[in-house]
Amino acid sequence: MTARTEWAGAIGDEHDVVVVGSGAIGLTAALAAAAGGARVLVLEKGPYLGGTSAVSGGMLWIPMNRYLREIGKTDDRTEALRYLAAVTDRRTSVDVLESLADRGDELLGFLADRAGLHFCAMEHFPDYHPEWPGAHAGGRSLDPLPFDITPLGKLRDSLRPDHRPPFTMVEYEQWRIFTRFPWEELAQRAERGLVARGRALVAPLVHACARAGVALATGAGAERLTATDGRVTGVVLADGTTVRAPSGVILACGGFEWAPDMVENFLPGPVEASCSPPHNTGDGIRMAAKAGVALGNMREAWWGPMVHVPGDETDGCPTGTLLRFERTGPGSVIVNGAGRRFVNEAHNYNDMTKAFHAFDPRAYGFTNLPAYLIFDQRHLREYGFLGHRAEQPTPVWLTSAPTLGELAGKLGIDAEGVSATLAEFNTHAQEGRDPQFHRGESAYDRYWGDQYAPYPALGPVDTAPFYAIEVRSGVIGTKGGVVTDGNGRALDPFGDHVPGLYAAGNTTSHPMGPGYPGAGATLGPGCTMGYLAGLHAARQPG
């Protein structure tokens, strides 16, 4: 069990509002409640503050935002709601979508004023379905500015570590390929205490919460809700401590990707890897279910194609690595055991991973699992592969062979199938076409590719030797749970409010439903709902 640490304030036995979970969404809810005059406690089960947010890209997807206007771009409420309705397959209630559209920019002003947290609009990063009606060509995804954690003092040690170099996503747009990054400059930034992406989102919130008098504790997981006369009034911690919260409890403690029983019961495909910390075990959803809430969206997750690199761990558990450029850039393909492609490799990671879950009723298994990413020497020489470079000895986690046939033999996949697949793929890729899956046709596909190549997302796989790695059906997190209204209030199966209970983020039936509108759509809507939940809870009698 993780030792309890009180980083600011004390747990005590009563606060007006208790927030369960210390990711960006929970911290935003806590800061909003504190701004409303409430005494607030944040409980974190893991050993660090920040949750999955701290090791994420840190972006917020918010339509009609002020940073988009600063770069001279416009957005339209009707178009934004039209796009959201399509992405969510109209499964999300209108009042929730309208809250996201109407209150998101208000959240940004609050974060700037209360936490000194500012963003930059990613002007060239399109929505994930840029060809759909209502989509935006760029600017709804917001990148947090780098943040200096030196003034945090001892609070620096409370932040979840992230060993990735501190580059912003705006800088990624400029540099694109890891082999072209200024690694020495980034190392110097880290030494000076500058953080970026997820930690640049979380650190200002932690600092602001501490200054606002919010109590912050790690190693303090909640296991039960308490109720009085039908109203949720507090939580019971894992060690048996009861903390009263007469104004409300806000659940923002992630999903259930690390709970095998829930994954097996609810998700349509396996979770073979996750890049989240291993503390998202569905605690908030279980507590809320016992309190009588309605659950929704339980079959959905933020899916992503991932690989396992030996030694990559978070809090002692294996951590998956999400594939982005590696599957999008020229010179790579993904195939199944028959050696056949089955998806546009450059499509957004949430939707393309669903193709891994195609089910074969005759074989009674998943047609496209296991799957393998195959790339050639030219790809490795130009771009590297994760941390591996062409001049280095091939690591044990990569399979290599001088011919495709030998590579197929080592992988146990159909050699004739993969040879035929690549022969067809290469013929079209040389012309910048993919008639089978249309890779490279979308602006989103090209965004993640090599902007200096003839075709950013397409190129033949034909230069020996060849390399492969198994691609896992992975998740960033799950997105099913507590059904809420437009203020983050938990609802019961009849649509009535569960008094005193709020939820936001992956603990909820996430507002994005089955879809993924753009980069930051996990955190942008989540933080907006957390903000509204915190404001509403602070107004309740305590």
Quick: pLDDT tens for 44-88: 999 999 999 999 999 999 999 999 999 999 999 999 999 999 999
Confidence of residue 180 (pLDDT cuts 50, 70, 90): confident
Which amino acid is located at 3 in the chain? Answer: A
Query: In order of start, what are the domains of the chain with their CATH numbers?
Result: 17-253+479-538 (3.50.50.60), 304-475 (3.90.700.10)
DSSP state, residue 360: E
pLDDT value of position 177? 82
Q: For residue 69, count other CB atoms closer than 10 A to its CB.
A: 14
**In this predicted structure, which of 99-108, 182-191, 425-434 has the lowest mean pLDDT?**
182-191
- What average pLDDT score do residues 111-128 get? 97
pLDDT value of position 321? 96
pLDDT value of position 174? 84
Please determine, for residue 388, whether its predicted confidence score (pLDDT) is greater than 80. Answer: yes
- What average pLDDT score do residues 100-111 get? 98
* pLDDT tens digit sequence for 483-503: 999 999 999 999 999 999 999
* pLDDT tens digit sequence for 189-245: 999 999 999 999 999 999 999 999 999 999 999 999 999 999 999 999 999 999 999
State the residue for tokens 């259930």: 256
Element (H, E) at 208: helix 197-211
- The fraction of the chain above a pLDDT of 90, given in percent, is 96
Confidence of residue 1 (pLDDT cuts 50, 70, 90): low
- What average pLDDT score do residues 341-357 get? 97
Of the chain, the end-to-end C-alpha distance in Å amounts to 32
pLDDT value of position 309? 96
- The fraction of the chain above a pLDDT of 70, given in percent, is 100
Residue 516: both structure tokens together:
């993924």
pLDDT value of position 72? 95
- What average pLDDT score do residues 457-473 get? 98
State the residue for tokens 């195959």: 374
Element (H, E) at 296: strand 295-296
Distance, in Å, from the CA atom of 199 to the CA atom of 215, rounded to the nearest integer, reads 20
When the pLDDT of each residue in the chain is averaged and rounded to a whole number, the result is 96
Please determine, for residue 272, whether its predicted confidence score (pLDDT) is greater than 90. Answer: yes
Q: Tell me phi and psi for residue 108, to 5 degrees.
A: -60, -40
Beta strand spans in 12-154 (E): 17-20, 40-43, 60-61, 119-121, 141-144, 147-148
Confidence of residue 2 (pLDDT cuts 50, 70, 90): confident
State the residue for tokens 């208000």: 106
* pLDDT tens digit sequence for 280-335: 999 999 999 999 999 999 999 999 999 999 999 999 999 999 999 999 999 999 99
Q: What would the DSSP string read from start to end of 326-343?
A: HHHSSSEEEE-TTS---S
Category of 395 on φ-ψ map: left (φ > 0), alpha (ψ -120 to 50) or beta: beta
Distance, in Å, from the CA atom of 108 to the CA atom of 27, rounded to the nearest integer, reads 14
Distance, in Å, from the CA atom of 164 to the CA atom of 259, rounded to the nearest integer, reads 27
Please determine, for residue 478, whether its predicted confidence score (pLDDT) is greater than 90. Answer: yes
pLDDT value of position 365? 95
Please determine, for residue 171, whether its predicted confidence score (pLDDT) is greater than 80. Answer: yes
Residue partners of 82: CB distance under 8 A and separation at least 6:
133, 134
